[in-house]
Structure 1
């Protein structure tokens, strides 16, 4: 009967555990089905002490300040530690064994909910002229004075970023704690170039929508392009904390995970919405699970932030032959809200290479000359949209994130498709600036 204790715990306190955590808690017990019943008490005791799980702990808003007192409980248990704190949303991340999880949930009313620290991954599967950014450049707008934080796999100091002057104003590494900028995967470098490339190494050919914008690199994904919810949240919290120091105006997030719960209950959604309310425009990828409906990834399910799907511009400047990329995730969200918000080019986008990175070695067929490579995905569409936001903020300093989003939505070109496919339509930089 002792083997039923974890089941009794989940039945009694399941409302304080997210679905993923409930499944993970039960998983070790399935391996014991052939063990003699007499050994159950001993084996369960061992399991509870030795199985350590990465989690996100959410506190009642008024109780976050007492977190140190509450977390004292975890220090009583083996293999338990606090990793990150997220004051913006009253959460922390930790490694806890099953005993500690039970103790916190049953004895600490300050604990509102505990989430499994799920995997988050980079969303992989001619752009500037296609969104009419070249017409904006002719007006003298280039994103100058605006700073975009790229939360991703890191940033390689590409020649187009450091010449004629270095526009990488800060770099923070939550994976390996290195201080010098690097990108061992290559995804973040390509995404940064999608937004801010000045074409220095291509005589201006491969230019992003905001070629004079500054960049902050925040590495939260490893050399294989994956990471954890806790690390991504730490990256967003860092941007909130350092908004004034580095002038962070925009966050571009070409990453995500499968959305399994409503936006209001998703800690990653909660923290990106805090960034939004702190005055930072947040652009997130819709995901690459299309053409099936209901495939919008987290944090793109947030109703506040700008969620970006991908268009295939067919490699042409004109828009007439453009169509929605089949891989671009469709709405509605897990809680039946309309998404994506916008579409931007995301197929065969030419941008920066990170020499020696995982993608650079694995995708040699995609190299374009010495300094560039092609990639596809809503990952590419998202920083292009962030670049358009930078142009808007250069032309209209002081606009709130809500006002930037409104401009982009109201001026998007309707592609005569269902809202769950196109949102408001195809982003139009020229109209978004001039409205």
Structure 2
């Protein structure tokens, strides 16, 4: 096996290929075990030139333009290869390449730092407003509702639900390129309601923490709740660009209830997803991401939740009561430390049997009919639900003080708990989020 040219290429360029991509290339040779030796050269040539792989190419610092240009030149000479998207904010591009083209890129383009497999990323699935003390938080005689704060939900889309009437102010679709808001999965709509449902259709019963916040739907996951690294990065980059074009009413918060297995690179920021969300954070956007649903085992925090900068949210079970006395951490909530040995999650929020908005005839709506609550609502569990609840609380904080930086918002959220404050931080984080404590008094 080690005599094959692609295997030799992987071994000599291991430092420039992430582990899933190396494995992907090597797996191409698995059928050769059962192929007569005299046919190996013939089949290797076919594999090298015909098998397509979706990748993300990262360039050396300061070499984006030259790297992008040289990559384009190499791929233009290769059949079945193309550059898909350019991500200038994180110094990357996405492309479809054959193993042969991959070899040419590594041998001819000096500006390439690393090449990653464009892996799959999924939506993270397995009373809430009251238990997080986010109902009727009042400051200076005003009940805070998230009014004037825009939250982007990077997910499966948002359905035009009556409880969001007039507050879906933008929509971007990187899956089907549609222009009007929709949600063919249902996960994104539920998350949007966890942030900003007015509860109008339930007399306020199923109201989110920020019932007057504005929403932007960024669809990066398909009907079944799956997407790729490139899709997610494109969605985050779109949010950053949106703010450059909408300075008067920018996106203040990104809620991301999605993730993939965290691979251990030399450092966190070598992870393309981490790099993307930290760029948004550096641009002044508070980013709330799900810890993952792979608990109760340790070291199961997903990516991009392993980022030290962003707010990584785990889930607890409020047992459908407003009292904290019967609350327990959700068994599925991912635990730290991260694969880099850092403490996570940052905070816990309600995430079990959360009733929020239903997207009729969507994938989840058809798959889990028993989860319907009346005709307009739906019950789901996961750190996916905890994350937007935390994002809604961040909206209250920013309504009260729009000048706060993402770091300051994170500090306020982490200082808010009065429950589980002295427990294992790799299970409980700083404790259970408390909106009443998180929003500054002045």
| Bucket of the pairwise TM-score, normalised by the shorter protein | over 0.9
Cα distance in 2, alignment partners of residues 239 and 40 from structure 1? 48
Contact residue 294 and residue 334 of structure 1 kept, 8 A: yes
Which residue pairs with 2:169 in the alignment? 169
| CA distances 1:269-326 after superposition (whole Å, capped 9, x unpaired) | 0010000000000000000000000000000000000000001000001111111000
Cα distance in 1, alignment partners of residues 56 and 111 from structure 2? 14
DSSP-derived class of the 1:236 partner:
helix
Which residue pairs with 1:94 in the alignment? 95
Q: Output aligned runs, 1:249-288, within 5 Å.
A: 249-262=252-265, 263-288=268-293
| CA distances 1:133-160 after superposition (whole Å, capped 9, x unpaired) | 1140584210000000000001001000
Contact residue 287 and residue 378 of structure 1 kept, 8 A: yes
Contact residue 136 and residue 144 of structure 2 kept, 8 A: no
Cα distance in 2, alignment partners of residues 248 and 20 from structure 1? 33
Which residue pairs with 1:228 in the alignment? 228
Tell whether 2:335 aligns with 1:334: no
DSSP-derived class of the 1:406 partner:
helix
Determine which of 408, 425, 430 is the counterpart of 1:424. Answer: 430
| CA distances 1:217-273 after superposition (whole Å, capped 9, x unpaired) | 000000001111110110001001102425100000000001112422100000100
Contact residue 70 and residue 109 of structure 2 kept, 8 A: no
Cα distance in 2, alignment partners of residues 288 and 178 from structure 1? 30
Contact residue 89 and residue 274 of structure 1 kept, 8 A: yes
DSSP-derived class of the 2:264 partner:
coil
Contact residue 288 and residue 377 of structure 1 kept, 8 A: yes
Cα distance in 1, alignment partners of residues 178 and 167 from structure 2? 19
Which residue pairs with 1:156 in the alignment? 159
| CA distances 1:360-388 after superposition (whole Å, capped 9, x unpaired) | 11111111111101100000000000000
Cα distance in 2, alignment partners of residues 372 and 414 from structure 1? 29
Which residue pairs with 1:410 in the alignment? 415
Unaligned runs of 5+ in 1: none
Cα distance in 1, alignment partners of residues 153 and 26 from structure 2? 37
DSSP-derived class of the 2:402 partner:
coil
Contact residue 80 and residue 95 of structure 1 kept, 8 A: yes
More off after superposition, 59-68 vs 324-333 = 59-68
Shift of 1:434: 2.7
Which residue pairs with 1:28 in the alignment? 28
Which residue pairs with 1:379 in the alignment? 384
Which residue pairs with 2:330 in the alignment? 325
Q: How many residues align?
A: 432
Which residue pairs with 1:46 in the alignment? 46
Cα distance in 2, alignment partners of residues 428 and 169 from structure 1? 28
Which residue pairs with 1:307 in the alignment? 312
DSSP-derived class of the 1:62 partner:
coil
Which residue pairs with 2:206 in the alignment? 206
Unaligned runs of 5+ in 2: none
Cα distance in 2, alignment partners of residues 266 and 60 from structure 1? 14
